[in-house]
Structure 1
Amino acid sequence: MIARALYSALFYLVTPAVLLRLWWRARKQPEYLQHVGERYGLYPQDAPDKLIWLHAVSVGETRAAEPLIMALLSEWPKHHLLLTHMTPTGRETGAMYVNRYPGRVTQAYLPYDLPDGVEHFFKHFRPLIGLLMETELWPNLIAGAGKCNVPIALVNARLSASSQRGYQRFSYLAKPAFASLSFVSAQTVADAARLVQLGASSVTVTGNLKFDVTPSPDKLQLGAQWRQALGRRPVWLAASTREGEEALILDALAHINRSDLLLLLVPRHPQRFAEVAALVEERKLSLCRRSEGALVTPETRVWLGDSMGEMPAYYAVADLALIGGSLLPFGGQNLIEAAACGCPVLVGPHTFNFAQATEDAIACGAARRIADAEGAAVEVAKLLSDGEALQSMRDAAASFSQAHRGATERTIALIREITAPRTAD
């Protein structure tokens, strides 16, 4: 209690810096200055009755939550869903559920972890249960839920060894929060073991919800149309790249002796699209931007995927993909979506965010690991000249994706068991 009081006092003290950071980020994404009141628990919209609350912090978590959202709305047809986020891109991604299920899904920002903001949040929305995606755990939020008798669960939970060490440094705050969770559905056995060590008591391995995400047929069809227009031209996709990686990839491209090779470059964060375009232009490579609408020409060397929500189309058009965030120590992005689209992948040395999925994909032949960008260039050249090997990887990717499905059903079973009295009609 004392530790949380000190934590709260410190959070209040740094509030001016938090607001300054919002303003700073709004220079590239003006949306950060929208709905600021919600970040402090002030909500203008009315709250529907019978709310099931799901928190998905940003884009990745919001997309991964799709099968769970569909299952929740199907399992409890008389209830509404409150979907909260922390980033504008997460909120933008979540808007598709509002449009798909009119009248049943409400969106808002989760407040910062300040006692009064958290209190306003629970008093306003009065959720029956709360589901936090992956690792979004805050001491005052968990304590506030306990005060209001709202059971909280961590779903699709993952925890790397480095994140575990970070929580352990603040165990006086983390352990009470983990111990207060009604249940945890973990992605892997290793995740479950780390969560138990941090104080979580009811932990079940349910698998990764991302395997249950079905790529949009419309986006797959779009990718197929692009492929038809490009003919036999090979496409190397660099998917969800992070700061510093694009320069390495562009330099490696020069070492591939394929003048017909098209590099499809898709940065992870939209605020970096212009920055990455400048990197391409600096190297005097012919550039086409997806946002401009035109398809690439035979002279185009780099196609910049500066759009949102089209990753399945990019995977569908690609011959193989390098997963971003893995060349430099960011931990890697999600390779599961690539597998679901039947796209072979390369991963760099840094894949701790999806360690188990990556190792499983490599083991079954759906993915290959490379040491650096130069190694990626060598592997790309090798695979593009070996159609049989590429097809084998495609087949392995599809099998890998199918074999790991079922996490949604197992997670819903846990929710049903723990919260049946609260969600009864």
Structure 2
Amino acid sequence: MSLASFAWHCGATLAAPLLPAWLRLRQRRGKELAARLPERRGLGAARPPGPLLWLHAASIGETLSLLPVLDALTARAPALTILLTTGTVTSATLLDRRLSPALRSQVIHRFIPLDVPAWVASFLDAWRPDAAGLVESELWPNLIRAARARRIPLVLINGRLSARSAARWRLAPALGRELMAAFTLVLAQGPADAARFAALGAREVRAPGNLKEAAPPLPADPAALAALQAAIGPRPVVLGAATHPGEEAMLIAAHRLLAPEFPGLLTILAPRHPERGAALATEAGTLPTLRRSTGALPGPETAIYIADTLGELGLLYRLARLALVGGSLVPHGGQNPLEPARLGCPILLGPNTANFADIAARLLAAGGVRLVIPPEPGALAGAIRTVLSNPDHGRNLADAAAAAIAPAATLPDEVAKALLHLMPQARDEDRSTPDAH
């Protein structure tokens, strides 16, 4: 055990008596479910008989990327049970909405235990997974060490390691090597991620592509879509999707600049954190503003419509003439530009796209996005003007983005095959094959 790993182990153990109070505080804030708090301590297991594959996704984006893999796994292994853990209430809500009846019979959801040695041990000893896949960058030292100690084969799925994160890992190289040694296989999002994982100490690294490119299009409730379409009519709609503080002000300023040129212009603000809806309504000032959380639909005079709700981006992308993908005009790193690409919505991006650097670069190279540089209201208004005044330009952007992500269609099945190859039956077959060694 490295010194850093030992320190983490001791720190988590010492913190354990305080964590239940912290969890209750999170529950009062809506970030935990009271009835399911025991799961965060590794309790509540109900392992069914037969093969069990454990997958872990941190939150909504990672969970969405797994949905096609779940379909591929259950198609290839009808007797398989999948234990899917996540760390947020919103991801649990998403699964409740998005799992098909067929998947519900094979997928069990639980919240991941906090990375306390005793709690992780309770979780693993009760569930006894045959193999496990952790998504993107979920490198919890106690969890990974405990899985390795129990000889559970581990795969890092859709692995992401930014240059900034890699630099931080260089401060604790022994811990990085220790964690990477636990993984049988790392499936990285791209060549740059793969190189960083290899430098960190991963034994076998492949770069098949980014699972987020293969996720299904975001859904939309047909009745809600029809109601909004009827309320908006032929008005031009600009969407700020998953926006962060500072971006809404730029969109509001751009709206003021463009409204005289585009009669009926409607700007929809969908903040990344919906609880900011009331503050954004105040920020809109004298512009006629409505909030979706109140149940209101935009009227003919509505200029700013604040979509302060969860799980409706699929609806909004279908309404918009173009969408600014949030987190890119401010130093956040950007939200997922693949969601509008899958729905044929022309994309605007600011310069801050570190969270999706490879995807943003590929979309830009294909002509599938329009950049807003510098990230200020005048440049934003200019980019919006170009798309709204030239429908062919918008269609070309959307078509190029769709073509750029099309090759990822087979990726979920590749990931499913790699995971199933680590299950006991596949390992036994490998050992019985004469040339297995």
Q: TM-score, normalised by structure 1?
A: 0.91
1:396 aligned to 2:400?
A: yes
Query: Which of 200, 203, 219 lines up with 1:201 in the alignment?
Result: 203
What secondary structure is seen at the aligned counterpart in 2 of 1:240?
Answer: strand
Query: Which of 249, 268, 276 lines up with 2:280 in the alignment?
Result: 276
Range that drifts further, 9-18 or 397-406: 9-18
Q: How many residues align?
A: 422
Range that drifts further, 101-110 or 81-90: 101-110
Which blocks of at least 5 consecutive residues in structure 1 are unaligned?
A: none
The Cα shift of 1:153 comes to 0.7
| Structure 2 equivalent of residue 297 of structure 1 | 299
| 1:107-131 per-position Cα deviation (integer Å, ceiling 9, x unaligned) | 1111111111111011111111111
| Structure 2 equivalent of residue 66 of structure 1 | 67
Matches within 5 A, 1:14-93: 14-15=15-16, 18=19, 21-29=22-30, 31=32, 33-43=34-44, 45-49=45-49, 50-93=51-94
Verify the 8 A CA contact 2:55 2:83 in the aligned structure 1. Answer: yes
Verify the 8 A CA contact 1:210 1:336 in the aligned structure 2. Answer: yes
| Structure 1 equivalent of residue 364 of structure 2 | 362
Range that drifts further, 304-313 or 54-63: 304-313
The Cα shift of 1:359 comes to 0.9
Task: Give aligned-pair identity as a percent.
Answer: 35
Q: For 2:74, give the aligned amino acid.
A: L
Summarize the Cα distance change of 1:423–1:248 in structure 2 as closer, same or farther, 3 Å threshold.
farther
Aligned equivalents of 2:99 and 2:410: distance in 1? Answer: 25
| Structure 1 equivalent of residue 156 of structure 2 | 154
Aligned equivalents of 2:161 and 2:289: distance in 1? Answer: 39
Aligned equivalents of 2:22 and 2:304: distance in 1? Answer: 33
The Cα shift of 1:398 comes to 2.4
Aligned equivalents of 1:276 and 1:20: distance in 2? Answer: 32
Query: Which of 374, 379, 382 lines up with 2:383 in the alignment?
Result: 379
Summarize the Cα distance change of 1:297–1:205 in structure 2 as closer, same or farther, 3 Å threshold.
same
1:264 aligned to 2:268?
A: yes
| Structure 2 equivalent of residue 407 of structure 1 | 411
Summarize the Cα distance change of 1:137–1:72 in structure 2 as closer, same or farther, 3 Å threshold.
same
Summarize the Cα distance change of 1:24–1:369 in structure 2 as closer, same or farther, 3 Å threshold.
farther
| Structure 1 equivalent of residue 97 of structure 2 | 96
| 1:153-177 per-position Cα deviation (integer Å, ceiling 9, x unaligned) | 1101111111111222222222211
Which blocks of at least 5 consecutive residues in structure 2 are unaligned?
A: 430-437
What secondary structure is seen at the aligned counterpart in 1 of 2:409?
Answer: coil
Q: For 1:156, give the aligned amino acid.
A: N
| 1:238-263 per-position Cα deviation (integer Å, ceiling 9, x unaligned) | 11112343233323332324452111
Aligned equivalents of 1:275 and 1:21: distance in 2? Answer: 27
The Cα shift of 1:226 comes to 3.5
Verify the 8 A CA contact 1:22 1:33 in the aligned structure 2. Answer: no
Aligned equivalents of 1:397 and 1:222: distance in 2? Answer: 26
What secondary structure is seen at the aligned counterpart in 2 of 1:366?
Answer: coil
Verify the 8 A CA contact 1:139 1:174 in the aligned structure 2. Answer: no
Q: For 1:236, give the aligned amino acid.
A: V
The Cα shift of 1:206 comes to 1.2
| Structure 1 equivalent of residue 6 of structure 2 | 5
Q: For 2:419, give the aligned amino acid.
A: I
Range that drifts further, 415-424 or 194-203: 415-424
